[in-house]
Amino acid sequence: MLSNNLNSRGEIVLEINRIYQGDCVEIMKDIDDNSIDFINTDPPFNVGLKYESKIDDNLSSEQYYKWCKSWGVHLYRVLKPRHYAVVASSQINLMALQKAMIDSGFTFHHFLEWLKPNCQKVFTGTVLFNRIELLLVLSKGKPDIKLINRKVLYQDVLQYPNEVPVPGGDANHPARRPVALYKQIIAGFTKPGDLVLDCFLGSGTTAIACKELNRNYIGIELSEIYCKMAKDRTDSVPESLPFMEEQDERE
């Protein structure tokens, strides 16, 4: 797939190592079935955040479930059989998101947990230190566990400080994730040259991690401003990083 932007049926497909601006449900229609090696994505959590894309981040549980399923079915379709997807979730809307992913066809396995040692307390009816963010590990059918590099992903709790964006800074996105976190996840589920999809690219973290790790990516983001932010950040990663041979003996 992806040669000359046409698939085997002569239909248009997306170019790799590019960031596409628009609604991911529409854009993913141009991604060939069974063509993606790994999905790493972080959808809006429906917790009332204010994104530049002005999406409604305050849906009812049922609306959020339906919306998650509208893109979940595409993620499932484009992923290669027996491969993995990691989808982040808030604790509050976990049940709706998890059900939407399962109803889209995915098999749920377990959580990875992003532990943020520097998290500030938030108020959601009770005081909550939102110190743990859950990431759902999913697969398309029975997974090929040899795809996981257990030397990289040797535990399920991944500890990285939350990087709070500075107003006017170069990546002022309200939900930016640490590049180091995404590098561990992507290196753990892929090998060099694999194709990774992030349909909620935000400030570009998945694309940066992929470029640094010599993985290919397709990034999709609704907001023009975040797209530019993602592109600028990804472009600033040098092209000619020395190719790092990974310890790649998978179990």
Ligand X SMILES: C[S@@+](CC[C@H](N)C(=O)[O-])C[C@H]1O[C@@H](n2cnc3c(N)ncnc32)[C@H](O)[C@@H]1O
Asked if 125 and 64 touch (Cβ cutoff 8 Å), the reply is: no
Given the structure tokens 């108020």, which residue do they identify?
A: 123
Provide the CB-side half-sphere exposure for 116 (13 A, CA).
Answer: 15
Comparison of 44 and 188: residue with beta carbon closer to ligand X: 44
Rg (CA), the chain: 17
Mask 197-226, x = binds ligand X (CB under 6 A)? ---x-xx-x--------------xxxx--x
Q: Which two tokens stand for residue 225?
A: 């401003």
Selected binder of ligand X within 14, 136, 175, 218 (CB under 6 A): 175
Selected binder of ligand X within 16, 51, 91, 130 (CB under 6 A): 51
Number of residues located near ligand X, criterion CB under 6 A:
21
Selected binder of ligand X within 28, 31, 35, 44 (CB under 6 A): 44
Q: Rounded distance, CA 206 to CA 199, Å?
A: 10
Selected binder of ligand X within 1, 2, 30, 53 (CB under 6 A): 53
Helices 205-213 and 179-189, axial angle in degrees (round to 10): 60
Selected binder of ligand X within 24, 28, 86, 100 (CB under 6 A): 24
Comparison of 143 and 202: residue with beta carbon closer to ligand X: 202
CB 162 to ligand X: min, Å:
11
Q: Which two tokens stand for residue 95?
A: 């049940």
Mask 221-250, x = binds ligand X (CB under 6 A)? xxx--x------------------------
Helix (H) or strand (E) holding 198: strand 195-198
Q: Rounded distance, CA 119 to CA 161, Å?
A: 8
Beta bridge partners of 113: 134, 157
Neighbours of 247 (CB within 10 A): 8
Asked whether position 106 contacts ligand X by CB under 6 A, the answer is: no
Selected binder of ligand X within 74, 116, 140, 177 (CB under 6 A): 177
Asked whether position 133 contacts ligand X by CB under 6 A, the answer is: no
Closest to 226 measured CA to CA, from 53, 39, 86, 85: 53
CB 56 to ligand X: min, Å:
10
Residue nearest ligand X, CB atom distance: 202
Asked whether position 108 contacts ligand X by CB under 6 A, the answer is: no
The 8-class DSSP code of residue 12 comes to B
Contact positions vs ligand X (CB under 6 A): 23-24, 42-44, 51, 53, 55, 173, 175-177, 200, 202-203, 205, 220-223, 226
